Structure 1
Amino acid sequence: MSRKSSREPIGRPSSVSFRLRSLEYLLPWALAACTAWTAIFMFPTALTAWGMAFVALVLGAWSRAFPARAPSVMMLRAVLLLVGASALHLSPETAGAAGPFYFWPVTIACGFALLLERPWALGLFALCITEYALALWLLPPVNAWRDALASSILLIAFPAIALVFARSVQRSDAQVEASLTDVQTGLYNAAGLFAHGQELFHACRREKRPLSLALLQFRDMKDVSLILGRTAARTVFVNTVGALARATQGRSIAARTGREEFALLLPGMNQEQAKSLLEDRLGRPLRVVIEVRKRKVTIMLDSAILPARDRSPTLEALYDQVRHRLMRKRAQLNDPQPAAQDSPSAAVPLLEDTDSAPLSRLEINPTLPMSLDQLLSHGDPGAPKPRS
């Protein structure tokens, strides 16, 4: 592994910040509202106008349920909105491109200029101008040049101003996002989990939707590094981070909250759904499998998952409850409890367990079914026996 690549984040950090992708849905919903309002007073029988208002409403709902984590996804949605603008501009019943719906390409270019990085925004700006020019050419109005010049100045001036403002907004937003991101993994750090996760926590409370928090910890990473080497330990780390990054779909958040601890905040999922998602990504029981000396070595993960309940007024309180449950699981394995990591939330002297029922043996995930020495020598008669 090159020196340069070793410094790159392991996961695939989103190139669209949490705040910007959380605002994307407002743009198509604003287009839907303005289109419906215009249709009520000017084109009450124009099916094209009502149809495009519905399309914008659906695209907004899609953006809200699945925020764009990559600029290509956001660009795709912008192009779909631009196709809707073409349908309005090429419809004679809505007065064409010189009619009142010229605000579609203007709004698309201005709004996404604030959300997308400059190269993507400039590309979309060019597409908006091209769409408007083609619409004027294919369906020319009565006074083509006069109407075109009057409308095109808005299509050029407003997005240009938005591009100037976007540079300042995106620069400050990138600085905030960098302070909330773990440099090594590209996932959020503890501060990022609580800063962005608290918004999702309260949003799920308002919408009366479920929310679950999962914590995962290694217990043998030090043994992996000592016995198998740093390369094997990094492989385990990379595979785990990659699995968590792939598990972050929709509005979920993955974070590294400790040296060997990871958190996954899953809005819209109850405890069973969150458990199924983790098992789908990391197997059942949760584990990471690597190949060392042509033998497969399995590293188990300790985990705990709890849903948000009334006794969890904040995300910090829910985190403390999940972590307390995870420590309780590890204590029942009759292993020495490791040194407690500093909790990102306020210290809680006595935590009320959210589930007072005793933990079954099946609920406790052992870290290793056998020692690493036994794993390496397993199946090899000539291999030396591990020392007792």
Structure 2
Amino acid sequence: MNKRELFLQHVAQTSPAPLGLEIVKASGTTLRDANGKKYLDLIAGISVCNVGHCHPKVVKAIKKQLNDYMHLLVYGEMIETPEVQYAKWLTDHLPASLNSVYFTNSGAEATEGAMKLAKRFTNRTRIIAFNKSYHGSTQGALSIMGDEYWRNAYRPLLPDVLHLEYDDPASLAEITTQTACVIAETVQAERGVYTPSAQWMTALRQKCTETGALLILDEIQVGFGRTGTIWGFEQFNVVPDIVLLGKALGGGMPLGAFVADKNIMQVFTEKPVLGHITTFGGHPVCCAAGLAAFKVLLKEGILDQVNNKAALFREMLQHPLIKAVRVNGLLIAVEFEHFDINKQVIDGCLQKGILSDWFLFAPECLRIAPPLTISPKEIKKAVKTILQVLDGISQPK
């Protein structure tokens, strides 16, 4: 068997047609396969590699920590320097009320932990989420996922979950004193980059405050500069009670977190003790990598360039087959009439060395979410390739 056959035979498959590229090297915005072909990465591992693949400072931090120690004991029992340092850096760059970090292995696990925390703290059971939302694929996260197509095969799921319309003022009336928490993405990424109005986000915050429901904002995909500020919620002038982090949090290593006020988080310490536990959460190597990547993001001027790069994408992405372009920093959805056109664009770009993708709830939209380090020259190359592929697609009659 060749490697592709071994891959298909022994690695569990979740799609009938996996991409199947054998990548042997990744650096910056470039991937290289086993045949030496280079690809410009426009999706950054789904918003993971915000400072690029294998940034030298991240690699150095990983190697240093490997020489010190790796796993020691389950979460929270040992003082592990990378974990403590990263928690301090994160909370130093978050609002004062977000001062206690619980590290997990992934964004989905952060969602799960936050759901438990909200129910425990409020002593309520009702959880509100929104249609076309994505918060992970585990049982609890799936229960609040905003699309029945993805939920249906796994029912029964968690009870007492209500889905509302996102960015709809009328839906906020459903938030009551029976609500434990409201979980919302700051920007609905998988819907195809849908940004709510500032008025709605303010009203959502106010309604949660009035009813005592905790507001949980999911920054797993949009955090760490993706929208042009460190945190997406900064742009709405609201502060959540709990924020969910993941993807870029680990600088390319697996890491998630949920962050809240210590007064909220401390309910995990008793009745029962060990109210939330994980073996590998806050792994020292992952925290060392994430801290290094966060410092790169903050100290190398990467954030200052995001909006200019986004504007260049917006300016150039013009074609008769493009219905709309929705942009929030370097999270961009290019909408076509239907998925067939998008699939031709994805496949055509891949042949020409450009790696792109679609959105879970918006398959007619091309995903553009490159490393934030992408250069203007690379942006021009990527867009010119997209437009060339579009030129080769027959116009619908």
- TM-score under structure 2 length normalisation: 0.24
**Higher relative contact order (CA closer than 8 Å, sequence separation 6+):** 2
If each structure's helix is expressed as a fraction of its own residues, which one has the higher value? 1
Which structure has the bigger radius of gyration? 1
Report the TM-score when normalising by structure 1.
0.24
